[in-house]
Structure 1
């Protein structure tokens, strides 16, 4: 059923932070979300929601719909069910005037990498971690932090006539409680000291002990991939390793440190009952603004420099590295091919080509591919044309994924899939699930990978995986050291 009406309240931001608001609200619900962009200060925003009214779950390929606590199985294709779930919660004709406006309620969830088996005939290895294939949640009420306007906006969307009064009441109650919290300064115990993080020493050797695959076996797998490349099967494949790290702290404490250590365009925290999926992804899978589709291939990595001069030297070294640039070009071509399938003929173009984007610990080569969406496809279907990303699979994509399934020990789960948001007013945005942490039963699961090409050095590729896994590992270790005491950053 399509949304009918919208109600909003707003107030000026004073002492309230997104994490503080979320910490309060999620205590009343077993499912909730927090999505943030904290990489670019001018574009920084946070939005969150609790108590979804509908939940669509894909479990072992079977489809389940939960409404008001009651669950029923839907006997249909998982991708068809997900596409319909998103599409039927776009605005009605009565709300068309709001198209493009920042209405931040809608559908939030993830698709695991293993959902590719619903598209291609690719056998998946057994899973070592209990996790749904995918989950989509409908949130009619949301809270938005607009930092550039120093405002908090509470939005309630009426889905049907029966929910009108409850939606109005919920929005009013949220406004009253959050305004109360907004007047209370955060105590000193919650102030995060960045020098406390920078002073910590983190042992790579400890991280390695948590890996499901160790260095020697990883190097053997890299050599097998290079043999496939020599035989002409593929040009590249992305091989990854999972790390299973004890997590004694609260999940929100881990997220607080992750956000401080690795602020990213796609910060996400999905509370999913007894488990949590969180991350700090740098990479857009697919974005849709109502007319144009965008995907952002990222390939090519260097560490950040010790100072500005070293940073610039490393940037130039990255752009002049023949292996890194060749790998990036391959994935740009793959992104253009993916978008061309769902874009109007002749509209696919490069908006940015091989720019350097810098993050807290690493820098990447980034390009932006754009196309005007064909009317034949929904945004979700357009996202599936790019799924999974070439930067997490390889090229040619299908054969690379077959080799990944052969060589990786266990199913990837959420890693390499997508976290997505589909707003009531037509926005659609998704990121690749990387730099992520999945927490269940006090074990934090991290996964990281790297693209293997013909001249890859196995030891260097292993070190790249360790480098990518370090920021989530640091967040877990710091949170563990706090013994579940939230001394999180003011966010």
Structure 2
């Protein structure tokens, strides 16, 4: 931890957020136990989060991140002339801004001049939360007035301002406790140092695990009756045949009553469906639980500059019962003309998106047509990278790449117009992005798929399938059901009683 003299030196250099960092051993803990110890001591962990990762469906990522309850957050709702962004601190709205929320977020990030701690991972403080699918209406003006009815009522953007963070190094077993101090406040150093000591003391607490007893199981309902979904696919195919567009993602929402602890759903999901992006966000009046396999976009500093990565994931099959049948399924998937054609379109879309913001000649496909396996399904994946042009921000990157082509279609904007016509409800968080924008300037966003929203005693799960010229409506319906299955099964496990 830095000394008070070092703190004052950094303050004199103009930094208005300075981290105090303490290390501890956490080799006897799990990210979940640490989350409970650090976040659930007050107000049930409101405005906190847990981010974990499993690489390739088989091994944990190097780092897990815990965002302790945040004092401040940004939330945005409304479109066009009604667009508003609010800054909320300690439960009170302290600022309200009209205009484009993405532009406000870019300006808001500039308020913070943060001293960075060498040796720590990309994220150790910043903004974390989600950009809902409908945030695209802040990017594409022609979509401002075509939004379907909103039955959920969640903000279109919600970002927690993370100034107290715990980073778990799953390789070394170390835990980093990070508290940011604002030197403009009285006794900033001593207060932050005291807070770090308090957090270290909380590590000694025993874990209070939410009790999960077998309860009532509730049926699920769908926003689309099956017949209506099949008809929507047929309508999309007719438009494709007429030359309107090449591909569109048509989705459905599944909802069911859920009255158990939201964190228990995350526990069940991370066991059933370990994924590269696993997240639990407690936003107060609702929670977001996800296990996404897919990057929306990643921005990270490398020697050449800021590297931008998109990893298209499309082409899906359910897992088979035996290794031999699973391999046969993989070969059938990778050689399916419809799946290959759809995936090629998405690689091209990723190249085009990155090409809008990348330095000339830097866009490359670094991996193509690999197959990744998850608990219930397997997917075709590819990797597209480029180096960001000088002078561009994370919000420029988001505007160029949002939403994912794998959740919209091609050409992207017209496909989204068709989605507004065909889907009966506003998508909300689904199809948007969950992740973080770090104080260091990095950004890592997962596509909000395999993601559930718990609000007012209900669980909402959504999934979509890519419709192309030769799509079979029944198979597209089944694909949405397969994609939603992991979350619904996780809810069933909780209702049955986790042991």
TM over 0.5: yes
User: Given the alignment, which residue of 357, 360, 366 partners 2:381?
Assistant: 366
1:365 shift after superposition: 0.6
Aligned to 2:109: 86
Q: Cα RMSD over matched residues?
A: 2.3
Which whole-Å CA distance do the structure 2 matches of 1:103 and 1:82 have between them? 18
Counterpart check, 1:76 vs 2:92 = no
Matched residue count: 464
Aligned to 1:437: 452
1:434 shift after superposition: 0.3
Which whole-Å CA distance do the structure 2 matches of 1:456 and 1:134 have between them? 33
Counterpart check, 1:58 vs 2:76 = yes
CA distance change for structure 1 residues 319 and 3 in 2, over 3 Å: closer, same or farther? farther
- SS of the equivalent of 1:292 reads strand
Counterpart check, 1:37 vs 2:65 = no
Aligned to 1:459: 474
Which whole-Å CA distance do the structure 2 matches of 1:239 and 1:2 have between them? 47
> Which structure 2 residues correspond to residues 397-436 of structure 1 after superposition, within 5 A?
397-436=412-451
Cα distance per residue 1:406-441 (max 9 Å; x no partner): 111010000000112122223210010000000001
Q: Conserved in 1, the CA contact under 8 Å of 2:52 and 2:61?
A: no
Q: Conserved in 2, the CA contact under 8 Å of 1:235 and 1:453?
A: yes
Which whole-Å CA distance do the structure 1 matches of 2:311 and 2:96 have between them? 36
* Greater alpha carbon shift after TM alignment, 31-40 vs 254-263: 31-40
CA distance change for structure 1 residues 89 and 108 in 2, over 3 Å: closer, same or farther? farther
Which whole-Å CA distance do the structure 1 matches of 2:467 and 2:490 have between them? 27
Counterpart check, 1:168 vs 2:193 = yes
Unaligned runs of 5+ residues in structure 1 are 197-202
- SS of the equivalent of 2:264 reads helix
Which whole-Å CA distance do the structure 2 matches of 1:50 and 1:331 have between them? 37
Counterpart check, 1:261 vs 2:276 = no
Aligned to 2:133: 113
CA distance change for structure 1 residues 37 and 31 in 2, over 3 Å: closer, same or farther? same
Aligned to 2:310: 295
1:54 shift after superposition: 2.1
1:86 shift after superposition: 3.3
* Greater alpha carbon shift after TM alignment, 364-373 vs 352-361: 352-361
Cα distance per residue 1:213-244 (max 9 Å; x no partner): 12111110000000110111110000000011
Which whole-Å CA distance do the structure 2 matches of 1:147 and 1:105 have between them? 18
Give the alignment's TM-score, normalised by structure 1.
Answer: 0.89
Which whole-Å CA distance do the structure 1 matches of 2:85 and 2:155 have between them? 10
* Greater alpha carbon shift after TM alignment, 413-422 vs 50-59: 50-59
Cα distance per residue 1:123-178 (max 9 Å; x no partner): 11110111111111111111111111111111122244314333222222111211
Q: Conserved in 2, the CA contact under 8 Å of 1:103 and 1:155?
A: no
1:84 shift after superposition: 2.2
Which whole-Å CA distance do the structure 1 matches of 2:483 and 2:25 have between them? 38
Unaligned runs of 5+ residues in structure 2 are 1-13
* Greater alpha carbon shift after TM alignment, 279-288 vs 18-27: 18-27
- SS of the equivalent of 1:57 reads strand
Aligned to 1:199: none
Q: Conserved in 1, the CA contact under 8 Å of 2:68 and 2:166?
A: no
Q: Conserved in 2, the CA contact under 8 Å of 1:140 and 1:159?
A: no
CA distance change for structure 1 residues 160 and 135 in 2, over 3 Å: closer, same or farther? farther
Counterpart check, 1:141 vs 2:164 = yes
Cα distance per residue 1:3-37 (max 9 Å; x no partner): 54221112222432211222233332421111110
Which whole-Å CA distance do the structure 2 matches of 1:333 and 1:90 have between them? 37
* Greater alpha carbon shift after TM alignment, 2-11 vs 334-343: 2-11
Which whole-Å CA distance do the structure 1 matches of 2:178 and 2:341 have between them? 46
- SS of the equivalent of 2:243 reads coil
Q: Which portions of structure 1, spanning 4 or more consecutive aligned residues, are displaced by more than 4 angstroms?
A: 99-103, 189-192
Counterpart check, 1:357 vs 2:372 = yes
- SS of the equivalent of 2:279 reads strand
Aligned to 2:18: 5
Give the alignment's TM-score, normalised by structure 2.
Answer: 0.88
Counterpart check, 1:47 vs 2:88 = no
- SS of the equivalent of 2:352 reads helix
1:320 shift after superposition: 0.5
Which whole-Å CA distance do the structure 2 matches of 1:142 and 1:4 have between them? 14
CA distance change for structure 1 residues 229 and 465 in 2, over 3 Å: closer, same or farther? same
Cα distance per residue 1:385-422 (max 9 Å; x no partner): 11000000000011100010011101000000011212
Which whole-Å CA distance do the structure 1 matches of 2:21 and 2:151 have between them? 44
Q: Conserved in 2, the CA contact under 8 Å of 1:36 and 1:44?
A: no
Aligned to 1:152: 175
Counterpart check, 1:25 vs 2:38 = yes
Aligned to 1:450: 465
1:44 shift after superposition: 4.2
